[in-house]
Amino acid sequence: MPDDARMTLNIKMLRAVVAGVAGLAAAMAVAVGGGPPGVAAGTCQRSVAIDPQVTVSEAGRGLTFVVYTGGCAAAGEVSYVVTDGTAKRQLDFMLDNGRLTWAAGDTTARRITATIIGDNLIEGPFEDFRVALVFPSRDVRVASGPGQGRIFDDDVQSRLATVDSRTCLVTRKGDKPVCALPPGVLAPMDAGVKTFEPGHIIQVPLVLNEANATTQSAHLDTADGTLLGGVDYEPVHTTVHIPAGALVVFVEVKLLPNAFTHTSGHYFHVYVSGYTAGSVIAGSGQVTIVY
């Protein structure tokens, strides 16, 4: 075979090999897709997470979980299932199973609200039930699915305070990772408390079983878990003023940029103590970052 013909043949064979490798790579990319099996490359997923813990006084008559959404704003759905604990449906609260939906481009949070049925029985200090996010549609992933609702008995003979755990579902605002938050959540709750950039704040709820006729106070402190004060969040050691008539106040904790460099599940602790009108029960919680 002449040298020119041999060279032409070699070039054609090389091109065929390159094309075959490229085709294989493309097929693998579609198969893997960077996500769950069956999701093609380029398909985005919406992430959702529910409040891990919500406590209300029995006198409050309503208990609301926020379901946060982040990641890609794909259209999708997720169901929620309600399970009795020591609190029983139709006796202590009313909430049916349901399903939450988002249209493409919708980045707003959803709310799941239980109606609390008050009584004059001493059942305390807490009764609880569970709400779980389940059965997401194809383009939705559940980053954090379980939530605990706690009904704080207002018939016990003591005035009590507690603290709720919270979750930061990481999403993006422009090129920055931030916590997904419902609109309007960042209003300052206490005189002299600074409100930081939206998306970098976790508002930790301090909850009472019974409102007070006069202003009271309690202490809230943070402590390191796998997230470190001064590195991942700004430590808080503060006296919280509780206005007369209030059943809940919020304490702001700022997350620092390094907090968003960790993998899912890292956390720090929050503690409440020194409630001037009564006692603290279940006085520890945690703030967890999830993706």
Residue 34: predicted pLDDT? 32
With a CB cutoff of 8 Å and minimum separation 6, the contacts of 270 are: 163, 165, 204, 220, 221, 222, 223, 236, 251, 253, 284, 285, 286, 287
Q: 173 with 277, same domain?
A: yes
Query: CB neighbours (10 Å) of residue 201?
Result: 21
Q: 183 with 286, same domain?
A: yes
Q: Which domain holds residue 250?
A: 159-291
Residue 184: predicted pLDDT? 52
End-to-end CA, the chain = 62
Q: 212 with 248, same domain?
A: yes
- At residue 237, φ and ψ (nearest 5 deg) are -140, 95
Q: 64 with 19, same domain?
A: no
Q: 144 with 180, same domain?
A: no
Answer with the one of 120, 138, 157 that is the final residue of a domain.
Answer: 157
CA distance 18 to 16: 5
Q: Are 246 and 189 in contact (CB under 8 A)?
A: no
With a CB cutoff of 8 Å and minimum separation 6, the contacts of 183 are: 108, 109
Kindly give the parts of the chain with pLDDT less than 70: 1-42, 182-198
pTM for the predicted model, two decimal places: 0.81
Q: 148 with 163, same domain?
A: no
Q: 14 with 31, same domain?
A: yes
Report angle CA 31, 35, 39 to the nearest 5 degrees.
Answer: 55
Answer with the one of 126, 157, 188 that is the final residue of a domain.
Answer: 157
Q: 185 with 234, same domain?
A: yes
Q: 99 with 208, same domain?
A: no
* Tally of domains in the chain: 3
Answer with the one of 157, 184, 208 that is the final residue of a domain.
Answer: 157
CA distance 54 to 147: 8
Residue 157: predicted pLDDT? 80
Q: 169 with 275, same domain?
A: yes
Q: 151 with 165, same domain?
A: no
Q: 173 with 284, same domain?
A: yes
Q: CATH number for the domain including 229?
A: 2.60.40.2030
